């Protein structure tokens, strides 16, 4: 029994279309896999771009890229007048700005306290995601890595400006502590691994690693909220939907987690030698479960210490939270002898 010639022709065309789709999927997947592999490699010291520092006033500094002057950010400084002090440089997270140093607490005047705003803030103001093309979205992994490099460049410029000026600048001693909170915690750790001899102490405040685990839990919880689902539902159709959300969150977190793998601190902490490292964490932080913290602690060399604060992730907009964290940072730095001031010799 022979098939209809028209039907055979139709099946051949359908088969060719199927092969083209399969080949296209293989090519796109291969390109994406190579892209992820190339981008997730840890940073090297040579990857840090050059930035410069300009003092606009006694409380506000401007940091600007040398190779791309359109890129800039701001640093605010609080310090006691007429004294030569050790310096604490803090990299803000996503939300922190000038108000982080505007709140109460004398801890920030016990030495030079500098808060650096991440350059990504000004980047997002210039390049709003609503205006992005399809090519822009395809290149977003490269954009994120480039912004991370420039944040390292800005922080490196700030560190060198303070550290190199210790012999001639009456404001600074040779002791500089780097600290980062939440999303900003990785930058000081990465930079310290390149120049541990310049950093007298490193503080990781509510920092996290294992991005895939963190992203997956956040995507899953947000997916349940978006589709108005309850994780413990007994309804069969609801369970199917929840399984779909869980699978999608796993796939997306796997891709994003591998793209951002260069920011995981356990790749850099082992290279930090003779620099005290201090971790501050919340006892019930949904953003930083044990899986996102323990790899950092295990990879960090001695001397290291940790402090556990009752509650969840800290809120940079809450003055009480910031006052409490500031006091903890101050107490640790004082105990290590890296938070002191001296009268200036005229």
- Token look-up 């399984």 returns 243
What is the average pLDDT across 173-178? 93
Average pLDDT, the chain: 82
Question: Is the separation of the CB atoms in 126 and 87 below 8 Å?
Answer: no
Q: Is the peptide bond before 294 cis (omega within 30 degrees of 0)?
A: no
What is the average pLDDT across 308-312? 87
Q: Longest Cα pair distance anywhere in the chain, in angstroms?
A: 108
Distance CA(330)–CA(281), nearest Å, equals 15
271 token code pair: 């290279």
User: What pLDDT digit, counting tens, does each position of 59-76 carry?
Assistant: 899 999 999 888 888 899
For the chain, domains (ranges, CATH) are: 40-210+264-343 (3.40.50.1820)
Answer yes or no: is pLDDT of 196 > 80: yes
User: What pLDDT digit, counting tens, does each position of 244-295 carry?
Assistant: 888 888 888 777 777 777 778 888 999 998 899 999 998 888 878 888 889 9
305 token code pair: 């210490």
User: What pLDDT digit, counting tens, does each position of 22-67 carry?
Assistant: 888 787 777 777 776 677 788 899 999 999 999 999 889 999 999 9
Q: What's the pTM value of the predicted model, to 2 decimals?
A: 0.82
Between strands 60-65 and 72-78, the pairing is antiparallel
The pLDDT value given to residue 339: 92
| Comparison of pLDDT for 141 and 305, the residue scoring more | 305
Position 346 confidence tier, pLDDT thresholds 50, 70, 90: very low
274: left (phi over 0), alpha (psi -120 to 50) or beta: left
Distance CA(346)–CA(244), nearest Å, equals 70
The pLDDT value given to residue 64: 93
The pLDDT value given to residue 130: 66
Question: How far are the Cα atoms of 133, 188, 250 from residue 204, in angstroms, in the given order?
Answer: 36, 8, 27
Angle made by CA atoms 172, 175, 177, in degrees to the nearest 5: 110
φ/ψ of residue 32, rounded to 5? -65, -40
What is the average pLDDT across 140-157? 89
Please tell me whether residue 345 adopts helix, strand or coil conformation.
coil
């Amino acid at each position: 029994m022979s098939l209809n010639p028209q039907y055979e022709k139709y099946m051949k065309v359908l088969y060719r279309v199927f092969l083209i789709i399969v080949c296209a999927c293989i090519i796109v997947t291969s390109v994406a896999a190579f892209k992820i592999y190339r981008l997730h490699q840890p940073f090297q010291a040579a990857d840090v771009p050059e930035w410069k520092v300009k003092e606009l006033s006694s409380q506000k500094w401007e940091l600007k890229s040398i190779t791309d002057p359109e890129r800039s950010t701001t640093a605010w400084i609080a310090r006691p007048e007429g004294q030569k002090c050790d310096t604490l440089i803090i990299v803000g997270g996503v939300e922190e700005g000038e108000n982080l140093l505007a709140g109460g607490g004398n801890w920030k005047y016990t030495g030079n306290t500098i808060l650096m705003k991440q350059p990504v803030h000004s980047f997002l103001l210039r390049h709003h995601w609503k205006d992005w093309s399809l090519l822009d979205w395809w290149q977003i992994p490269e954009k994120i890595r480039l912004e991370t490099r420039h944040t390292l460049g800005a922080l490196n410029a700030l560190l060198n400006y303070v550290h190199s000026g210790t012999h001639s600048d009456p404001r600074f001693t040779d002791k500089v502590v780097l600290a980062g909170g939440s999303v900003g915690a990785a930058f000081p750790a990465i930079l310290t691994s390149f120049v541990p001899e310049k950093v007298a102490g490193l503080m990781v405040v509510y920092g996290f690693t294992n991005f895939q685990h963190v992203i997956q839990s956040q995507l899953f919880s947000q997916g349940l909220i978006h589709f108005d689902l309850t994780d413990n539902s007994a309804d069969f159709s609801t369970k199917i939907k929840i399984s779909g959300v869980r699978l999608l969150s796993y796939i997306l977190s796997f891709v994003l987690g591998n793209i951002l793998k260069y920011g995981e601190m356990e790749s850099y902490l082992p290279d930090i030698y003779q620099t005290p490292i201090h971790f501050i964490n919340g006892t019930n932080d949904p953003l930083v479960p044990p899986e996102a913290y323990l790899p950092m602690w295990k990879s960090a060399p001695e001397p290291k210490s940790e402090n556990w604060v009752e509650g969840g992730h800290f809120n940079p907009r809450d003055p009480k939270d910031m006052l409490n964290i500031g006091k903890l940072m101050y107490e640790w730095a004082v105990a290590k002898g890296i938070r002191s001031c001296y009268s200036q010799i005229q």
